[in-house]
Structure 1
Amino acid sequence: MTTMQHPELDLPPGWARLVMPRRGGRTQPEPINFDTEAADRIDRLVREHFAFVESFFPPFFTDLTLRNATAGHLSTGPDPTGAAVLHLILGHLVTEEHRFGPFLDAWITKHGPAFAAAAVLERCMMTSGYTMIGDNRRVTVDEPGGLKWAARIHREDLRRIRTAIASTNDYDAVIEALAERRSSPWRSTVASFLVPTETNWVSEALEADFPDWFTVDWMWWHAVSTTDHLAALERRSDWPIRGDTGMLATFLDACGVAGLPVLAASAPGWGWEPAARPDVATALTAAESPEALRRLLSHLEVRGTIPLAGAVVRRYPAMAVRTIAAHTAESGPSPELAALLPSDPLVWRAIATELSASDMAATDTMREVGPDTPVADPADLPPLLTDPPWLHRDQAPESPAPVTTDAPADLELRWRAREEPNPTYTDPAAMLEELVNRPDLGERLLPMAGLRPARLAASWLDKKPQARNASRAWFARHGLESVPWLAFDALGAPGPLRDAAAQALRHLAFHHGDEAVAAELSEHGEAALSALESILGPEALYALPRTMPRIPDWADPSLLPPIWERTGKAVLPARAVEHLLTMLLLSASDIPYAGLAIAIQACDPESLERFSAAIVAQWERVGREKSGAKGWVPRQAELIGATGSAPN
């Protein structure tokens, strides 16, 4: 059994504090202060609720071993099993029932780490039945059931017990206390997690016969440290349900670069979930590992694998191209492999000297660019693609001076032809007041016209889907008739009312045209038309959300085909593509971002359609994730007009 070396990994500094310590590990645990008064608090809790504890041991169906252990712990002498029973029962009475909390502090300060380790192991084997009414209280040893609870143990509790064990002066006592309790694969798994230096225990746990669905395989990831462990782990465990940053930090702290291929191969069972991918990408790019990338390339059909492979390609492009070339030679080209090749000519130029002629030839048919592909000069592109407004919000244009207009009708009912007046609208003002916080009743707003209904519809335009849909329906019904009602606020003083009304005017302009909206304001003179021009033009470019949408990892420009500028002579720089993607994300709602049309006009239509279709394809590959602005993928396909790219 070979213990692995620990080459340096480029990991975030904050990961070190998440490592579950191990005796002799390279990351030394920070000292932990345990509460010396916790034992007294637990004793008082037991005295106060002694009758409740006894109720879990009725005359019939009682586990005598557990009852005797509990009684002995309370009267004769400390017993880890009895201590575990008390935590199980009294856990029903504390706020955080899945925390060890003061129990762990009491076990360590009063009886030492060896006792605490044994009590933790025993607790992971127990379950209980409990109802407030009737005699339905039981404590039993149910190893699989207990480990289901163990899957919910708070990681800070686990880190505290591992720290206490790793730093104790009586480590042999801990080994001895756990050794006598390793009577089943379930117990061996917990024991190997608590003392991972017992590498033979870890091996036995990994080789044991477990059900296919095992809820605490994350313990294995915290325990492995040898090449044999890694081989067994790869055979037994996919990415765990409870895999998190701390698990990754602990795993890599023990296994180093050798662990990266196993991590890369862990996707097939569960797939890479969006919440886990950023940390997994950080781990996989912590060191150059061609073998890890090869494992990813073998599982590109698994949801979420392509973004991770893309992260490796971006970090180590030369190694990645060589690895993709070798994989292509074995398995043939594919759209998924093509998506991973760099789409930025500048990257190809940087790595050209590190690649062989065979590498270039193997990837030639899958890539659209190479070292000789020209890149557009930013000076030749619209500023929206090189220096967009969200990079300098402080330069937003000032609103024009307010234009005074006569106050429009406040509220009236307008029924359509052939539409019977609804008798429930006896007090439309009261009904409107009720609707302010009830967009689910938005259909009741439809016949209402005037200043106040227009304000409500405008305020709903950028809210959640239910409110947004009600707003769209109202504006679809009243159309350009609503322009004078909106103008009262849109031409007024800056503030929330003006912002909402201005956005509503942009909505109408998108559906009816700028000229049609301007015609409705012509009677208010040149000042009003000038203000409208600002609202629909410069101000619209800075009408941005407080938090800008983030490009999801699967839509990174490096995973999408290049976009050629309008003449087809050069490709857009990577930064310009990022800005275009941001505009598409901003255009998910009914109104496209004001600068999107200008940006699209700067692009070659055919390459833009390929780009749009690739966004949809990547979205499909990761399971149509709802990352970024909701609905932006089908929306961008509509706006760009990519033939056949809009999903059904």
Structure 2
Amino acid sequence: MDESTNESAFAPHATWLPMKYPRHGGFRTHVEPVSPDAGTVLREAVETNDEYVRWTTRYLDADPDPSPLALAARDYRAGTHTPVGAAVFAFLLGRFLNHHEVPHTVFVDGWVARHGLVFATEALMEYSDTKFVYVTVPVSELPPDTMIMVSRIGHTDDSVPVELPRYVQQERLAQSDSTDEQIRYSAREEVLDRMRGLLAVASDQEYAAARDAVAPLRTNTVRQLTASYLFPTEKDWSRQLISGADAPHYHWISQLITSSNSAAELKRIAAPYGQESWIRDDATVAAVVEGVGTELTPMLTELLDAPERYRYVQDDAIPMRLLQALSAIPSDDAFSALAARSSMKGALPAVVHAMRHYPRRAMRLLAGQNLSLFDRHVRQNPELAIEMAPTLPETEQRRITELTAEVPEATDLPEILVNPPWTRKHKANPPNVFPGIATPDIRKIEWLPGEREELQNSRREYYTWETFKRSYVPDTNPATVRDFVAQYIFVLAPDDVARPLLTDWPGTTLKEPLRVVARFELDALPMMLRFARAHPGAAAPYLMPYVDIDVARLQATAFATRKNLRKPALAWLVRHADDAAALLVPDALGKPGKQRDHATTALRALARATSRETVLGATTKYGQDEVDAIAAIVDLDPLEVLPKRIPKIPEWVDTPTLPTVLTADRSAKLPVSAMNQMLTMCAISTVDAPYAGLDLAAAHCDRRSLGTAVWAVFERWWGNGAPSKENWSILALGWLGDTPP
């Protein structure tokens, strides 16, 4: 199959579409069609608006010597329609238009609805360089009834005569070739973008007619800039404009970049502002790829490989944008450059995009260059691989034979891989509730041997209380004490100063809260609980010595709901095992709800970390029914211990193209569904509590092939930007991995 005819089309990314800067006959775009009523809307909203019309009177009716431009606008208003008249009339009305209420695009749509696309394009060309200029006029030449107002500044003596000026500045309509006016965020930008969109979706005949009408109107630089933006397909226009300019036009930089048609043009435009000027957003990159084409590849690779290039917030986004651009270009050089950078963090979506749109090119170029991607591509396209095998090197031919060989699917899989608990509907048994159990009155602090003394002597203070107070504490009012000052008050100040802050200070953070705990012990507990509720992630160290029902509930909730807090929460449970069990048993037997769920999860973890008897021992004083209920909680089949929500396997895993996982005797392969179940087990596991079914599932697999597949999952996770919510991909290497291939 001839690649030049089958894989020569560009492959724009979904994030680029619809195109913001479209070209006629180019990438897909969406442009709102002109309403048939647009002419009526223009007339009623703008042209007959009393306020707008009143402002134009000065230029169209009050001038005794109107310019040809003013006369053309008068004629358009009166019904003699010319592009110049339409342009000047719109310019005058638009000067006072409230664009928050009526966008300036109302003129473009109105022109198209009334007169057609060709007329509207000509009118916009005339509009592009219409402006007000100021001319110096002798006062002696002004009409006799002209009013001149003179302001005197700094004079207090009214007897000093006022001297009239000999000349004044008058505002005149003109068409002027000035490129120094702001385009971005202006009315001109609005109408230019709208017209470019309408031309992009016009029929070939309409487009050609509009282009032919515009060609003779390119009489100055502003008009050439306008024409090149409206008709970016006209390569001669852009080449003459950009190559012939002494320097790129700053205010038109965005329009020039999105209309460039060669690498030379793009480099010349961006040179004064840095090549990064066109990679700030997807829309601009898309327009550049469409316009410059395959010539863009060396520029993209240069930008990707430049050391320390990106020093701003979008550091990660810009390399990904460059990789996306490479993946949309239908050339061997672009694909090879992309494949060579496939190990970059976040690069894989771009690589997969190119592989999907250029499968033959990918099969040919990945051979011998990237074994992992080549294997994935063969698994994705086995028929194509077999067809192209004779054209590939002998090593790749053998590899294709291996990968496309028929391997039977395993049929004697364990239940955990076929019908795991989360796929079955469970009829929930009503929980055993014992509402009368009272929470034991346990409130104490327990230090490890030497722990408190170590905290009290952890460092020698630079200040004494008196020296610190003199320099930093003008007032010990709790409402005004800052965090920095509060820390020193709690550590250095006498009790009569420090103790009131334990209850009255509103702060929620301290630099060294454990030192405060070491000094005040249980008296500091209410404040520490307030800290913990405000900042649970930082609470573990300073709550560790406390034993209290509120602390127990906080630790149970942390263990049950926060993966990053499971380890310190379990450490508290184990440190105070007997008391923790006694405090949480009443909650575990209480009414259904979050508090019960968190307590049961914590008790199961405590039983695993210590012993079953530790938890059951805290229940014996209540009665046999309560003991049996806690035993049922602790003895719950580990396979049935599941999170509230079972996560979905992300699309980037692409399980069907993972390396084949064989059964332990290597006689069959795991079905895709079974591999998905194993990955789900990883996703519901935590670093300290892997799902119980993992070992059962792994025991049925050949560990070498399983390790290879898990390594591929990790590579894809990294290649897709290493999303933190799927960091189980790293942990899976430890649970299921072998040596990387």
Shift of the 8–530 alpha-carbon distance from structure 1 to 2, 3 Å rule, reads same
User: Are 1:268 and 2:364 counterparts?
Assistant: no
TM-superposed CA distance for 1:79, in Å, is 7.7
After superposition, where does 1:447-466 map in structure 2 within 5 Å? 447-461=545-559
Within a 5 Å distance, the mapping from 1:274-289 to structure 2 comes to: none
Matched, 1:240 2:279: yes
- The CA distance in 2 between the partners of 1:78 and 1:347, in whole Å, is 58
The answer for the alignment partner of 2:339 in structure 1 is 297
The question of 1:627 aligning with 2:723 is answered yes
Closer/same/farther in 2, CA of residues 279 and 476 from structure 1, 3 Å limit: farther
Deviations 1:599-620 (A, max 9, x none): 3333322333344444555556
Post-superposition shift, 1:222? Answer: 5.9
Matched, 1:489 2:587: yes
Q: 2:632 aligns with which of 523, 530, 534?
A: 530
1:401 is the counterpart of 2:499 = no
Cα displacement (A) at 1:80: 8.4
Task: Give the equivalent residue in structure 2 for 1:127.
Answer: none
Of stretches 230-239 and 507-516 in structure 1, the one that deviates more from structure 2 is: 230-239
Percent same amino acid at aligned positions? Answer: 21
Map of 1:419-458 to 2, 5 A cutoff? 419=452, 421-423=518-520, 425-426=522-523, 428-429=525-526, 432=529, 435-439=532-536, 442-443=539-540, 444-458=542-556
For residue 266 of structure 1, report the CA deviation from its aligned partner.
7.8
SS at match of 1:436: helix
**Cα deviation code 1:208-235 (max 9, x no counterpart):** 89999x99998678657xxx75998899
Contact 2:184 2:251 in 1 (8 A): yes
Corresponding residue of 1:198: 234
| Cα shift readout 1:304-324 (whole Å, capped 9, x = no counterpart) | 444433455467767643443
Contact residue 444 and residue 546 of structure 2 kept, 8 A: yes
CA shift for structure 1 position 412:
2.2
Q: Tell me by how many angstroms 1:398 deviates.
A: 1.8
What corresponds to 2:667 in structure 1?
569
Cα shift at 1:416: 1.4
**Residues in 2 aligned to 1:506 and 1:182: alpha-carbon distance in whole angstroms:** 83
Change (3 A) 1:267 1:423: same
The aligned counterpart of 2:197 is 162
- Shift in Å, 1:338: 0.8
RMSD: 6.2
Q: How many residues are matched?
A: 565
The change in CA–CA distance for 1:640 and 1:143 in structure 2 (over 3 A counts) is farther
- Correspondence for 2:148: none
SS in 1 for 2:301: coil
Aligned: 1:551 with 2:650? yes
Q: Please tell me whether the aligned partners of residues 268 and 302 of structure 1 are also in contact (alpha carbons under 8 angstroms).
A: no
Matches within 5 A, 1:281-430: 293-294=335-336, 296-300=338-342, 304-313=346-355, 320-325=362-367, 328=368, 333=369, 337-342=370-375, 350-351=383-384, 353-357=386-390, 359=392, 361-363=394-396, 369-372=402-405, 374-377=407-410, 379-388=411-420, 392=423, 395-396=425-426, 398-399=428-429, 401-404=431-434, 406-409=437-440, 412-417=443-448, 418-419=451-452, 421-423=518-520, 425-426=522-523, 428-429=525-526
Structure 1, unpaired ranges of 5+: 49-68, 96-100, 124-140
**In structure 1, C-alpha distance between the alignment counterparts of 2:109 and 2:572, rounded to whole Å:** 66
Measured after TM superposition, the shift of residue 354 of structure 1 is 1.5
Structure 1 residue aligned with 2:76: none
* Higher mean C-alpha displacement, 612-621 vs 572-581: 612-621
Amino acid aligned to 1:243: D
SS of 2:282's partner is coil
- Matched residue, 1:540: 641
Residue in 2 that maps onto 1:128? none
Taking the aligned partners of 1:522 and 1:511, their CA distance within structure 2 comes to: 20
One-letter code aligned to 1:200? D
1:331-374 alpha-carbon deviations (Å, 9 max, x no partner): xx5xxx11112359976764564243463733267689422262
Could you tell me how far 1:195 is from its partner in structure 2? 2.3
CA contact (8 A) 2:332 2:361 kept: yes
1 CA distance for matches of 2:640 and 2:531?
33
Q: Is the 8 A contact 2:559 2:569 kept in 1?
A: yes
- Deviations along 1:545-588, one digit per CA (max 9) or x if unpaired, are 5xx255363x5446754433323333433443344334334335
Counterpart residue type for residue 523 of structure 2: T
Distance in 1, Cα, partners of 2:434 & 2:618: 16
8 Å contact kept, 1:404–1:492: yes
Q: Which residue of 2 aligns with 1:604?
A: 702
Deviations 1:75-106 (A, max 9, x none): x9998899699989999xx79xxxxx723335
